[in-house]
Amino acid sequence: MKKQKLRSEEWFGREGKMGFIYRSWMRNQGLTDESFDGRPVIGICNTWSELTPCNAHFRELATSVKKGVLEAGGLPLEFPVTSLGETMMRPTAMLFRNLASMDTEETIRANPLDGVVLLCGCDKTTPSTVMGAASVDLPTIVVSGGPMLNGKYQGADIGSGTHVWKFSEDLRAGKMSSQEFAMAEACMSRSRGHCMTMGTASTMACMIEALGLTLPGGAAIPAVDSRRKVLAQQAGRRIVEMVHQDLIMSQVVTRESLENAIVVNAAVGGSTNLIIHLTAIAGRLNIPLELSDFDKLGSQIPLLVNLLPSGEYLMEDFYYAGGLPVVIKELGDHLHRSAITVNGKSLGENCSQAQCYNQEVIKTLDEPVQAEAGIAVLTGNLAEHGAVIKPSAATKELMVHKGKAVVFENIEDFHRRVDDPNLDIDANSIMVLKNVGPKGYPGMAEVGNMPIPKKLLEEGVQDMVRISDGRMSGTAFGTVVLHVSPESAVGGNLAMVQDGDVIELDVPARKLHLEVSEDELEQRREGIGPAEHHDARGYVKLYVDHVLQAHQGADMDFLVGQSGSYVPKDNH
Ligand code: FES
């Protein structure tokens, strides 16, 4: 096979002054002459950070990738990019997803790399690095960091996030003591890795496997399992081959593989956050993907995976039951099985031998956890560009519901009044939260699953219809309508809702309707302007000026699309 010229040779293969500059400083790391002999240079894009606890083990994982790259005759070069810790960052990690994607994109393009391995785990670290890499479009393979082991509390399994929401409601309702609450805190996160429920991180890990961007079986291996290191080493080997084969990301991520990710997300009971991130990834690759595609392709798909928050088990159980390949095999013709993956084989081929070892955890199409599980997309005068709900995490009896709105103008207003004993609210009310969308919050925070008012909790109310332009954690549950677009901060009708207005939610009819006349809405519109962020500067200013709406993936308008990998100019 004729050896193709590598991109890195534009740096390391040069003669004269520029060759001297590009090689000489790299030699201070002990690189030998052979390092520059035209071998593939592989970037290991590391989202390691002690401020991102879910990714805190990534230096070790990078070592395994490096071993694989060296074994296959490549030169591994590890580099850091902005890491986003979901539980640490304020006002919300999502505000910085696009920033991290810019960092990833520009670092990859500006450097002498022929291929990249993306190390990601915590919620936003996966979409941000994939989005950035997509805009460069080199051979790319993803290695996720793996989930934590199951949490254990008083002899029972507890799951990241899901049990935090449950325990904090129990504490507020007086069903749990503060001592028990403190004990549970220490029992939940007991190994390295990301959230082990089917929250956003696990959803993202399943998404990259369904997209074909990671080696088969990669999604579910626990972070502490030695097979996670094996997978990383194999990825290191494989990325060198991918460079030789010139198998770039846009050949793997196609309309078909995006559709596969939507179907798989429904079957695993994945997070609503997938919608935002997958749409943004598709946008980077210029592949049309509409909000309605998620409903069309996913809503009829049965829920096969019995994991919290939609089911009972956790990622560790999922792995022992056979993991995602079992689900992919079971989905059969619901998927484009011929879609190519990073190992050069098709998705169908990769999973044809998968076996289920626990049918309580991974069910069959004939006997699913739930018959229809995907995300439903709602439209109506309250969400002209759409809103979403995850029926598998909602209460069946509330899927068709009419109630009077109890409106919170923003998150501060919500915190101030939600537990006020005089709040005029009952179990049939619909809670409405404004100004938590992309521009409004800003950053579209995970606050859509508003806690239920204390006085209702004490009456035994466990769920209510809640509507907002925000998101919710993938670990959360409830009858929660999210991602209302256009958001209230840009003048969507959500901004016009007032206390006492009647709202109709009809999930089977895909309807979200505010029973207020057009004339009345127009009158209310006067005097309500777009949200201003006068004090915004720096990145936040850039974000609020350019972020797109939820149904467009909340990317920034100038980041959509690709610039490729070519850099015409030298640096000296
Ligand atoms: Fe990092 Fe959940 S907080 S994955």
> What is the whole-number distance in angstroms between the Cα of residue 197 and the centre of ligand 1?
10
Pick the atom of ligand 1 nearest to 194's CA.
4
Pick the atom of ligand 1 nearest to 52's CA.
1
CB of 146 shorter than 6 A to ligand 1: no
Residue 101 CB contacts under 8 Å (≥ 6 apart), including other chains: 127, 128, 129, 131, 132, 135, 555, 559
Sign of torsion over alpha carbons 335, 316, 200, 76: negative
Which neighbouring-strand residues pair with 140? 116
Q: Which of 83, 86, 96 to mutate to test the pocket of ligand 1 (most atoms within 8 A of CB)?
A: 86
40 preceded by a cis bond (ω within 30 of 0): no
Q: CA 12 from chain center: how many Å?
A: 36
pLDDT in tens, 195-230: 999 999 999 999 999 999 999 999 999 999 999 999
474/197 Cα distance (integer angstroms): 8
CATH architecture of 376-531: 3-Layer(bba) Sandwich (3.50)
Q: Which of 557, 474, 499 has the alpha carbon at shortest distance from 195?
A: 474
Find out whether 196 and 315 touch, Cβ atoms under 8 Å: yes
Q: Check residue 146 and give its pLDDT.
A: 98
CB of 201 shorter than 6 A to ligand 1: yes
Looking only at the bridges linking them, the beta strands covering 140-144 and 376-380 are unpaired
pLDDT in tens, 129-143: 999 999 999 999 999
* Mean model confidence pLDDT for the chain: 96
pLDDT at 1 over 50: no
Banded pLDDT at 532 (limits 50, 70, 90): confident
Banded pLDDT at 372 (limits 50, 70, 90): confident
Q: Which of 195, 274, 472 to mutate to test the pocket of ligand 1 (most atoms within 8 A of CB)?
A: 195
The number of residues in the chain equals 572
Pick the atom of ligand 1 nearest to 475's CA.
2
pLDDT (average), residues 425-443 = 97
pLDDT (average), residues 353-375 = 95
Identify which has the larger pLDDT, 169 or 481: 481
Q: Check residue 527 and give its pLDDT.
A: 81
> What is the whole-number distance in angstroms between the Cα of residue 313 and the centre of ligand 1?
17
* Per-residue CA distances from 1 to 13, 244, 516 (Å): 20, 10, 69
pLDDT (average), residues 517-540 = 90
> What is the whole-number distance in angstroms between the Cα of residue 220 and the centre of ligand 1?
15
Residue 534: count other Cβ atoms within 10 Å of its Cβ.
5
Share of the chain above pLDDT 70, in %: 99
Q: Which of 194, 196, 202 to mutate to test the pocket of ligand 1 (most atoms within 8 A of CB)?
A: 194
Q: Which of 2-6, 352-356, 372-376, 387-391 has the lowest mean pLDDT?
A: 2-6
Structure tokens at 251: 């050949």
Q: Which of 332, 347, 343 has the alpha carbon at shortest distance from 257?
A: 347
496/76 Cα distance (integer angstroms): 55
Pick the atom of ligand 1 nearest to 199's CA.
2
> What is the whole-number distance in angstroms between the Cα of residue 449 and the centre of ligand 1?
17
Structure tokens at 548: 């797109």
| Helix (H), strand (E) counts: the chain | 20, 14
Domain ranges of the chain: 39-149+191-351, 160-188, 376-531
Structure tokens at 248: 């770039």
CB of 160 shorter than 6 A to ligand 1: yes
pLDDT in tens, 405-433: 999 999 999 999 999 999 999 999 999 99
DSSP 52-74: SGGGTTHHHHHHHHHHHHHHTT-
- Residue with the smallest CA separation from ligand 1 atom 1 is 122
56/121 Cα distance (integer angstroms): 10
> What is the whole-number distance in angstroms between the Cα of residue 53 and the centre of ligand 1?
8
pLDDT (average), residues 305-318 = 95
pLDDT at 157 over 60: yes
Q: Which of 96, 158, 160 to mutate to test the pocket of ligand 1 (most atoms within 8 A of CB)?
A: 160
For residue 377, report the phi and psi dihedrals to the nearest 5 degrees.
-105, 125
Q: Check residue 531 and give its pLDDT.
A: 78
Element (H, E) at 129: helix 125-136
Element (H, E) at 330: helix 324-331
- Residue with the smallest CA separation from ligand 1 atom 2 is 195
Q: Which of 446, 160, 144 has the alpha carbon at shortest distance from 276?
A: 446
Q: What is the pTM of this model?
A: 0.97
Share of the chain above pLDDT 90, in %: 94
pLDDT in tens, 103-118: 999 999 999 999 999 9
Q: Check residue 3 and give its pLDDT.
A: 67
CB of 195 shorter than 6 A to ligand 1: yes
CB of 241 shorter than 6 A to ligand 1: no
Fold classified for 39-149+191-351? Rossmann fold (3.40.50)
pLDDT (average), residues 374-385 = 96
Residue 529 CB contacts under 8 Å (≥ 6 apart), including other chains: 491
278/83 Cα distance (integer angstroms): 19
Find out whether 382 and 512 touch, Cβ atoms under 8 Å: yes
Banded pLDDT at 19 (limits 50, 70, 90): very high
Q: Check residue 7 and give its pLDDT.
A: 97
